[in-house]
Amino acid sequence: MQHHVPVVIEQDEDGVFIVSVPTLQGCHSYGHTIDEAMKNITEAVVLCLQDEAPTEDKRFVGVRDLEVSL
């Protein structure tokens, strides 16, 4: 069975890519390149899906960039 899940990619201050799936609780990983991070989150998603289905009560809509002034 195929699943399509949204993946959020961030980069920390050390240049490490942090990846997470917002529709699977606790499904996170990282990598030193985006390719490595995507490989690692793929493995994590497979494990997470063995424990739970993606949450149906919330839908991932997207990411927006917000600029604020202090």
Q: Is 42 helix (H, G, I), strand (E, B) or coil?
A: helix
Specify whether the CB–CB gap between 30 and 44 falls below 8 A: no
- What residue ranges do the domains of the chain occupy? 8-51
**Among candidate residues 28, 29, 23, the one with its CA nearest the CA of residue 53:** 23
How much is the pTM?
0.80
Instruction: Check the CA dihedral 15-37-58-24 and report its sign.
Output: negative
Residue with tokens 């993606």: 54
Is pLDDT at 11 greater than 70 in this prediction?
Answer: yes
pLDDT band at 63 (very low <50, low <70, confident <90, very high): confident
State the amino acid at position 67 in one-letter form: E
Task: State pLDDT tens for residues 36-48.
Answer: 999 999 999 999 9
- What does the pLDDT read at residue 61? 81
